[in-house]
Structure 1
Amino acid sequence: MKIQINGDHTIVVDTGLKDFVEHEVSRLLDRFAMRLTRVEVHLSDIDNKKTGTADKRCLVEVRPAGSRPLTVSARSANLPYAVDEALRKMQRSLTTFFGRRRSPAVSSLSMHK
């Protein structure tokens, strides 16, 4: 699973931020690692460094092998919370996504027998 981290023009992705995001991605999405080809994390400051509530945004896009990309996002007053919230949303989405692919749909005909 390749992890790619991008920041907008207001967020510098330095070594500390990169290490933090990679650690969080591994911690929360590791159980899906064999089924994902890439995880992209996009970080942005919505109102260009002005202070305010929920002005940091984290968008996470994952690419399951052989399937369409899945995307979630979260906003928070600070970047670590936005990253954590977005990755937790993705964790739930992937649990649902892979759970549905593993279980075949129940035929309506078999229910009436």
Structure 2
Amino acid sequence: MSKSNSPESDDRPNLRVVTSPEAEVYDLMRAPETTAERVKRLQAEARALALEQVEALEEVLLKAADMAKEIAEGGDAYPVGARELAHRLGQDLPVKAETMKAIIAKSHP
């Protein structure tokens, strides 16, 4: 059976619009960029990729916090020490994710 090409497919890349003056479609008819222009463009791309990775980390932290809360509330099926640790993680990870969000907001207005 072949893969579905539906819009809900998770196989599509997660694309983002970069609103940076350095971000532009490369015009094949223009002269080659200078080394300085290339450095600026590559730095802008690196910043955009770094932002994506930090946002992905924030998302994973929140998912981990949800899982930790489930374990903490899981009752006797989980060992006491695991429930206690999961309880602490469930409280701590959302705070860390919010801190990460605040850092991103400050550095990427």
The answer to whether TM tops 0.5 is: no
TM-score when normalising by structure 2: 0.30
Query: Going by fraction, where is helix more abundant, 1 or 2?
Result: 2
- Structure (1 or 2) with the larger CA radius of gyration: 2
